[in-house]
Structure 1
């Protein structure tokens, strides 16, 4: 397999799509990894497996419509494998495995059939102290944009998934690219105050557009850097409520095609106004786990 990923919006040719088969039911609060899941566990509104299977199937249908090669993880019984983006990511022709939460280590083994098609020298495992998840990593041409948390209390946040060691490791692997870190707001208890990954508060769409949530960034200068990069007229600013519902976590099949949640009416209208075809799917149940469309996809090849 000839991997090729240099941005978020070039025409998609191959992707890993997560699975909701045998997720293990409703977890205990102590086993949940994010405040939004905890919120729904306590409220009795945690998503049902059947609903999540149907939601992911709707995405698979759209991908097949656009002739995208779709790989699926092998199903591990009673194990949540929805969020394929967490476990690895591709930049250029390199497949980088994430050092994720220890309870989730089996997930990478479930896509071994995909990794077997990749030359071994293109598979990179980061140093043990470099914590990273794919939701925090966005290739953008000459840049690699990385969500992180640099506070001294990093270890106290289960929602802090990418550290400064990982940022430095990416700089060593890709010396010709500019790795730009963004310090994100974290909370273990309040979903509306938590940017779990960079793609929970920012994402490129189209050729030169971006979705952004200002309050997800701890440093306003870093938010302004992004606004300057894209230009204020090309920015779609989302509210806290829209961030909570994961508006920035849509997924691009091409510069002019985006898969979006069907309830994102304000965003979907803006995308269409900017000549982007919007493929609407139901994904509100999966969103209850603080992840959406980008989180459940791992792109392998784009044009």
Structure 2
């Protein structure tokens, strides 16, 4: 069984490029795979590997300047959910496109998973899902507002257009692991919202800690690796990925006439040209060939 660690930490890295090489080398030396993003504002990503390998990488990250307080969330996978190890340099570790947003200055009030149900059940609380539309489609909290955004960068504009809907409301926000709420709650505080809360550890921590019989979560939680979705207790979900558009598909979606493995699904069948689909078919043929020869 492999250990999967999802992590992020906001801190100041004067020279992220200097961190990239040593971090990639220690991950590769221990057989760890996944993606880690480095930016002047910190580090974000998910990695998978043996217990010893994950411990080695986490120890290296915690030794970086300002990262001693790094927190992470763990789950497991029976097979490696990543193809290779990638360490990438970015402008932001989660892209919001708001240069004045600074989670190290202020964020909303953290709410432990065990206290979340009571908060979001209060009549004066509006619950907002900060994730992308395709993530929300497969699962969310009962009664949560779906902004319908295609990317996190769209959230500020959505809020400014809809802020009037939440007058005199306390705002509770959530996302997969917590990182998007670090920025979105800072953004709302900057917009003058007086009471902003967010789920500590995100949906994943809630699904891990809150018993299913007590849960207000409905559906599954999308994750950005080959597992695609997780349910209560962080059990593997039933969704797979459309490798053309990267959206999650429920089991029944694969029975629809628009579905062709690796080429299209009902959501993206009209989004690509014939040339694109021909390219996708060739890619899928190569994938199958690799599986036949044990290269997958």
Q: Output the TM-score relative to the length of structure 2.
A: 0.28
Question: Who wins on radius of gyration, i.e. which is larger?
Answer: 2
Under a length normalisation based on structure 1, what TM-score does the superposition of the two structures give?
0.28
